[in-house]
Chain A
Amino acid sequence: MPGRIIKWIDQRFPLTSFVKHELTDYPTPRNLSYWWNFGFLAGVVLMLQVVTGIFLAMHYRADISLSFDSIQHIMREVNYGWLLRYMHATGASAFFFVIFVHMARTLYYGSYRAPRELLWWTGQGLLLLLMATAFMGYLLPWGQMSYWGATVITNLFQATPFFGDQIVIWLRGDYTVGDATLTRFFALHYLFPFIIIGAVVIHLVALHTVKSSNPSGIDLAAKDNIPFHPYFTIKDLYGLGWFLIVYSVFVFFLPDSLIEPANNIPANPMQTPNHIVPEWYFLPFYAILRSVPNLVGGVVAMGLSVMMFAFMPFLDRSRIPGGAHYRPIFKIQFYLFLLDMLVLGYVGYTPPTNQTLLIGQIATLCYFGSFLLIPFISRIEERWLVRRGLPPAVIALMESEALTIEQRRLKHRRRGEQA
Chain B
Amino acid sequence: MNALVKVLVLCCFSIGAWANEVPLEKVNVATDAVTISRGAEDLMNDCHSCHTLKYIRYRDLVAFGIDKQKVDAWRGDQAMDSPLLGQFSDADAMQSFGIVPPDLSLMVKARDGGSSYVYSYLLAYHNSPDGVLENPVYPATKMPDALGIASATDAAQRTEIQGRARDIVSFLTWAADPHDAERKRLGYYVLGYLIVLTTLLYFVKNQIWGRLK
Task: State whether A234 touches B201 (Cβ < 8 A).
Answer: yes
Complexed CA–CA distance, A52 and B130 (Å): 58
In the complex, which residue of chain B has the Cβ closest to the Cβ of A260? B112
Task: State whether B205 touches A234 (Cβ < 8 A).
Answer: yes
Task: State whether A261 touches B201 (Cβ < 8 A).
Answer: no
Does A231 touch B at the CB level, under 8 Å? yes
Task: State whether B212 touches A226 (Cβ < 8 A).
Answer: yes
Task: State whether B208 touches A230 (Cβ < 8 A).
Answer: yes
One of B3, B183, B194 near A82 (C-beta < 8 A): B183
Task: State whether B194 touches A241 (Cβ < 8 A).
Answer: yes
Does A405 touch B at the CB level, under 8 Å? no
Count class of interface residues, chain A: 35 or more
Assuming A72-B55, A234-B204, is B187 touching A248 (CB within 8 A)?
Answer: yes
Count of A-B residue pairs with CB < 8 Å? 92
**Scoring A residues 226 to 259 as 1 if CB is less than 8 Å from chain B, else 0, what string do you get?**
1000110011011001101100110111011001
Task: State whether B110 touches A264 (Cβ < 8 A).
Answer: yes
Does A265 touch B at the CB level, under 8 Å? yes
* Interface set, chain B 1-26, CB cutoff 8 A to A: 1, 3-4, 7-8, 11, 15, 18
Does A411 touch B at the CB level, under 8 Å? no
One of A30, A108, A339, A350 near B212 (C-beta < 8 A): A30
Count class of interface residues, chain B: 35 or more
Assuming A241-B197, A335-B4, is B110 touching A83 (CB within 8 A)?
Answer: no
Q: With A82-B179, A253-B184, A335-B4 given, can you name 17 additional A-B contacts, CB distance below 8 Å?
A: A75-B179, A76-B178, A104-B1, A238-B204, A238-B205, A241-B198, A241-B201, A249-B191, A252-B186, A252-B190, A264-B106, A264-B110, A335-B7, A338-B4, A338-B7, A342-B7, A342-B11
Assuming A108-B1, A245-B195, A253-B187, is B212 touching A261 (CB within 8 A)?
Answer: no
Complexed CA–CA distance, A86 and B180 (Å): 12
Does B68 touch A at the CB level, under 8 Å? no
Assuming A241-B198, A252-B186, A252-B191, is B4 touching A104 (CB within 8 A)?
Answer: yes
Assuming A35-B1, A335-B4, A338-B4, is B114 touching A261 (CB within 8 A)?
Answer: yes
Does A315 touch B at the CB level, under 8 Å? no
CB distance from A78 to the nearest CB of B (A): 11
Does A262 touch B at the CB level, under 8 Å? yes
Identify which of A72, A76, A349 gathers the most chain B CB atoms within 10 Å of its CB.
A76
Contacts of B197 in A (CB 8 A): 241
Task: State whether B55 touches A261 (Cβ < 8 A).
Answer: no
Assuming A83-B183, A234-B205, is B110 touching A262 (CB within 8 A)?
Answer: yes
Identify which of B7, B18, B177, B198 gathers the most chain A CB atoms within 10 Å of its CB.
B198
Task: State whether A72 touches B106 (Cβ < 8 A).
Answer: yes
Complexed CA–CA distance, A248 and B187 (Å): 7
Task: State whether A76 touches B55 (Cβ < 8 A).
Answer: yes
Task: State whether B198 touches A245 (Cβ < 8 A).
Answer: yes
Does B202 touch A at the CB level, under 8 Å? yes
Residues of A within 8 A of B (CB): 30, 35, 72, 75-76, 82-83, 86, 104-105, 108, 226, 230-231, 234-235, 237-238, 241-242, 244-245, 248-249, 251-253, 255-256, 259, 261-262, 264-265, 335, 338-339, 342, 346, 349-350
Complexed CA–CA distance, A226 and B208 (Å): 12
Does B111 touch A at the CB level, under 8 Å? yes
Contacts of B186 in A (CB 8 A): 83, 252
Task: State whether B179 touches A248 (Cβ < 8 A).
Answer: no
Task: State whether B194 touches A245 (Cβ < 8 A).
Answer: yes
CB distance from B164 to the nearest CB of A (A): 24
Does B142 touch A at the CB level, under 8 Å? no
Complexed CA–CA distance, A252 and B188 (Å): 8
Contacts of B208 in A (CB 8 A): 230-231, 234
In the complex, which residue of chain B has the Cβ closest to the Cβ of A229? B208
One of B7, B105, B184 near A252 (C-beta < 8 A): B184
CB distance from A176 to the nearest CB of B (A): 22
Contacts of B7 in A (CB 8 A): 335, 338-339, 342
CB distance from B119 to the nearest CB of A (A): 15
**Could you list 21 A-B pairs, sorted by A, with CB under 8 Å?**
A76-B55, A76-B179, A83-B183, A105-B1, A226-B212, A230-B208, A231-B209, A234-B208, A237-B201, A241-B194, A241-B202, A244-B194, A244-B198, A245-B191, A252-B190, A252-B191, A253-B187, A261-B109, A261-B114, A335-B4, A342-B8
Contacts of A108 in B (CB 8 A): 1
